[in-house]
Amino acid sequence: MARLWSQVAVVTGAGRGIGRAIARRFAAEGAYVVVVDIDVATADEVVAEIRADDGEAEAMVVDMGDTDAVAGMIQRVAETHDALDILVNNAAVTRNIDFFSVRPEDWDAIHRVNARGLFFCMQAAAGAMRERGGGRIVNIASIAGKGYSGTSNIAYAGSKGAVIAMTRIAAHALGRHNINVNAICPGVTRTDLYYQVVRERAEAAGRLETEVMTAFDGNIPIGRSNEPDDIADLAVFLGSDEARNVTGQSWNVDGGLMWD
Ligand SMILES: NC(=O)c1ccc[n+]([C@@H]2O[C@H](COP(=O)([O-])OP(=O)(O)OC[C@H]3O[C@@H](n4cnc5c(N)ncnc54)[C@H](O)[C@@H]3O)[C@@H](O)[C@H]2O)c1
């Protein structure tokens, strides 16, 4: 039996990268997947990929920083399917900025999606799950939130630290409603976001992109960075009944970069 058979799952930022990998794996495990992204073209592409593999999915275009739109999306999913079993809060933004160059507008742009948007999506989803007897929430944080020094910038690291803290608080608040809340903390993961940060860092330091990538990988004890599927594997477990008594945890998938 597929591990997420007949579950209704919302995956945010699912148009590419880690979110896309999670959406595709969830569908392969039998879930009906709502592919949420700000970019309609990539969201539609992922839905087409899932359907081509005989999976079930639909696209919804939502800016995760727009709390009204987020609440409307959750309400629509829950009412249409009379279910919302799994939320994967994955959408996030960042860029390479050094410590002294972070401006208030950078902080706001990053926290608007990564922390504020994630919380209000979790709040709306938890409300729908509570009415239906429970559910599972997987927040995609980052090892940056645990102090990984290779982070793209300090405001991003702060937003991911907020995700880890909110995961714990939410697990306490929602446990009695049979809602599990866990976080995944990816390390270096080869997605468009990673290549964007590599490009920006190479440009800022006057180095080759290959040198920056070698430096990233050189610090990883296991000697290789993640593919998006490395994160999807853990997301399937945390979204399934196998994880029914696991809550409030923040799981690193990073080849051994961080220990806590
Ligand atoms: N790639 C890494 O090395 C890495 C490491 C640690 C954590 N993460 C985290 O993993 C998650 C996914 O990262 P990724 O590397 O796949 O990123 P990505 O940039 O490749 O993909 C992010 C997706 O989110 C969408 N998105 C961005 N802003 C949005 C918004 N306001 N509303 C809706 N959708 C929006 C984008 O359109 C895109 O499809 C993020 O939470 C990121 O912080 C990534």
Give yes or no for residue 15 CB within 6 A of ligand 1.
Answer: yes
How big is the chain by its Cα radius of gyration, in Å? 17
Per-residue pLDDT 10s for the chain (260 aa) are 799 999 999 999 999 999 999 999 999 999 999 999 999 999 999 999 999 999 999 999 999 999 999 999 999 999 999 999 999 999 999 999 999 999 999 999 999 999 999 999 999 999 999 999 999 999 999 999 999 999 999 999 999 999 999 999 999 999 999 999 999 999 999 999 999 999 999 999 999 999 999 999 999 999 999 999 999 999 999 999 999 999 999 999 999 999 88
User: From ligand 1's centre to the CA of 37, what distance in Å?
Assistant: 10
The residue extents of the domains of the chain are 8-189+229-243
DSSP secondary structure code for residue 191 in this structure: S
Nearest residue CA, atom 7 of ligand 1? 142
- Say which CATH topology domain 8-189+229-243 has: Rossmann fold (3.40.50)
User: Can you tell me which atom of ligand 1 is nearest the CA of 65?
Assistant: 31
Distance CA 70, CA 73 (A): 5
Tokens 């799981």 correspond to 251
Distance CA 152, CA 164 (A): 18
Catalytic site residues? 156
User: Can you tell me which atom of ligand 1 is nearest the CA of 140?
Assistant: 41
Give yes or no for residue 226 CB within 6 A of ligand 1.
Answer: no
Residue from 12, 34, 36, 38 to probe ligand 1 pocket by mutation (most atoms less than 8 Å from CB): 38
Give yes or no for residue 194 CB within 6 A of ligand 1.
Answer: yes
Nearest residue CA, atom 1 of ligand 1? 189
φ, ψ of residue 34 in degrees (nearest 5): -95, 110
- Do the beta carbons of residue 135 and residue 121 sit within 8 Å? no
